[in-house]
Amino acid sequence: MTFETQSTNRAFGGTQGVYTHQSEATGTPMTFSVFVPDHAPDAKLPVLWYLSGLTCTHANVTEKGEFRAACAEHGIIFIAPDTSPRGDDVPDDEGYDFGKGAGFYVDATQEPWAQHFQMRRYIEDETPALIAAHFPVDMARQGITGHSMGGHGALTIALRNPGRFRSTSAFAPIVSPLECPWGEKALGGYLGPDRAAWRAYDACALIADGARLPDLLVDQGTADGFLDEQLKTHLLTEACARASIPATIRMQEGYDHSYYFISTFMAEHIAWHGERLRG
């Protein structure tokens, strides 16, 4: 459970670090970032996981997410893992929406992906154990959020692990991979043609099958070019309504899919998580 420190920087009354470790789940080196606000010597702080979207690494949100001031204010550790295994021996696809940078937070069962693309196990099991061993985290106070593919990851991980996360939010999530081209390519490629096996990785299907969240916050831009074909926010709105899940799903006028959108609402999401992670 060891790791190497790649960099640390002082920022907003805390320390922003980037770290690399050898992952048992993926069989590759993996890089993640952690922001730790200043705190009392023996304090344990709540943690917010942020899962990134297609083509991203840990660096996108670390450099452009504008989360540190809000995390320092609310005393929250912010963790950003990578989106897929990396390395010369890791298989890839010519498209940006499959292979490296597009792990979809699944445990692949199909070749040649199964050996390394074990992102569900990496995010749900391996990385939390690593973080708990090396950082001042209170693992009884966890929240999770993410963007696009990472929003899909945040929603499905929270729905599959009832009670683990006190708070769940998302920015422009892929709400139903069963119903969009990105999801059909990724889940078909990683898991095979049996669509029943895909349901564990579809937020709307998990809700239909009985999974629940205590509440939910989602922001989606109305000028997002992926909204109609890939994201389909209305499906999540309808699924939450049918299941009586308290969900605040906000359509933000004029915002697109970029980090200009994410960074605009990041502080509000962190404050929302902070209310649920206190105490």
Catalytic residue numbers read 148, 224, 257
Token code pair at residue 274: 């902070």
H helices of 81-135, where? 119-121, 127-134
Query: Could you give the CA distance from residue 162 to residue 173 in angstroms, rounded to a whole number?
Result: 19
Q: Which two tokens stand for residue 56?
A: 């991203």
What are the Cα distances from residue 185, in Å, to 1, 28, 75, 86, 182?
A: 34, 24, 39, 20, 5
Q: Which three-class secondary structure state does DSSP give residue 57?
A: coil
Q: Which letter does DSSP use for residue 147 in this model?
A: B
Q: Are 76 and 270 in contact (CB under 8 A)?
A: yes
Strand partners, 45: 137
Residues 6+ apart with CB under 8 A from 238: none
Q: What H or E segment, with its residue span, contains residue 67?
A: none
